[in-house]
Amino acid sequence: MGDEVDDSTNSSSRLLLVLFLLMGASSLVASHDGLLYDSTAYTKCLGKPARPLYNGGILKDIKITSASNDSSPSLSLCNLTQVTKYSFSSWVKIDGADSALIRVSLRTENELYSCIGNVMARSGCWSFLKGGFTLSSPSNATLSFQGPGSTDVTIAIESASLQPFTDEQWRKSQYHIINKVRKRPVTIHVTDENGERLQGVDIQVKQVSKEFPFGSAIAKTILGNIPYQKWFVERFNAAVFENELKWYATEPEQGKINYTIADQMLKFVRESGATVRGHNIFWEDPKYTPAWVGNLMGLDLEKAVKARITSLLDRYKKEFVHWDVSNELLHFNFYEQRLGPNATLDFFKTVHESDPLATLFLNEFNVVETCSDVSSSVDGYILKLRELRRGGVSMDGIGLESHFDAPNIPLMRAVIDKLATLGLPIWLTEVDISNKFDKKTQAVYLEEVLREGFSHPSVNGIMMWTALHPYGCYQMCLTDADFRNLPTGDVVDKLLREWRTEDIQGQTDEYGSYSFFGFLGEYSVTLEHGNGTATSTFALSQGEETKHVTIHL
């Protein structure tokens, strides 16, 4: 930003920041062809704000004027278009409180977007806010910073940036990341028994499995249902039980533990070769806590939760790659209310001691879906994760439930950017789209969410919440009851094909080599040369360099 914001104004002062964006949409698009998204994010409060992303984007060189009588900054935006994704960021500092959740809203001529980004700002230092929006129609707009309604907080901003992306530019950024982190170049060298390179060898390469976990929830309805099982196995390499491992399902009455259904489902998953997540050990929402647990206090509750962990882990140690140790802790705190503020920390430590190779997750909703939910701000999630780490938790991960209404894709990406600064595994754990939309609209939104998740370098896996029941699914199904694809199923099948290396046929060159660019995973290779044949396999894992594979024929 060209001019500095005066941060010495007290809480009774009022600040008005007015930015007039005079450039038209067509000139903006033309001037940013080939632009790649900047995933830079900060989660620590700094003494000075960093430089604005994209050098300010379309806010570059626009002078900020200030006036008195407003403690909440506003930006007036002109000529915004509906075919554009806008990435917004700013550094924020407050006065009048030690800390406060600052939300940015956007009002157009016809609509109000109640939150396009938020940050837990502090006094005395600068906090980084990152978000974004996509408009449903072209419009001028006013972007406003707002603090808690019950406190008199003055907000200062610096290094603001607003960067427009066309859909084509956004997609190019996605492909750029996919090619960088989901794929890798391979060179296969073919030699004879003396180590001499062989030219003109017929080569066939087939990807037999994918490294990236992409799956769905399943329910007990899959047991004995051969068409359902076949449909699942043909598509997915990861699974999670919808309800069958939850405490209310395995121990509805104290001491009467029954893992029969879970065991049968685990047997199916083992046979399919899929990765399986453990969901969940404790659910903080008292509505989903077993009724008998809700009646326990003190030592009786402590004994019950320890028995729950011991029972699960004695039976399923090393079976589940993840455990959702605490579900929806940002919204509910059943156990911490009764067992003290260290209850969750103790859960994680005990589970880690019992199953040290499993990754242990907090799992939460309304973190990437929206920023309007003050209970689950991205900074609030980061704060909780850091508290657990300071307490000694290790092997931890970030679960983002991802139950979307109409997705705000630039906000989704910005939130994951901030979470990624922690360096922890991030999974989209329960992806679906609200059933308030028709099936075609669900499919459009689902594709946007899945593409965004797969193309973010810090997302390690995606699970959809699409377990099929006689009544349908929780919010969104992929097929009808006869396993005929719905529009959402067509989207999934299209992406599964797109994110897989097609079968390759070719010949080695004059150097006895054949090169290709493939998605990460396991591959089989078949060679034919004269009367000689050979088969081999290799694994393609993430790396910056070309993978070299030598096969003797």
Residues that are catalytic = 328, 430
Report the run of H or E that residue 300 belongs to, with start and end. helix 298-316
What are φ and ψ of residue 418, in 5° steps? -70, -45
DSSP for 179-238 reads: IIIIEEEEEEEEE-TTS-B-SS-EEEEEEEEESS-EEEEE-GGGTT-HHHHHHHHTT-SE
Which residues, in sequence order, are CB contacts of 183 under 8 Å at separation 6+?
Answer: 517, 518, 519, 520
Report the run of H or E that residue 505 belongs to, with start and end. strand 504-507
Structure tokens at 121: 């700002």
Closest residue by Cα to residue 307 from 245, 257, 342: 257
**Whole-number Å distance between alpha carbons of 480 and 364:** 29
**Whole-number Å distance between alpha carbons of 47 and 69:** 26
Structure tokens at 306: 């320890």
**Whole-number Å distance between alpha carbons of 345 and 51:** 37
Instruction: Give the Cβ contact number of residue 272 at 10 Å.
Output: 17
- Which amino acid is it at 394? S
What would you report as the CA-atom Rg of the chain, rounded to the nearest whole angstrom? 26
**Whole-number Å distance between alpha carbons of 321 and 344:** 20
Structure tokens at 134: 């996509």
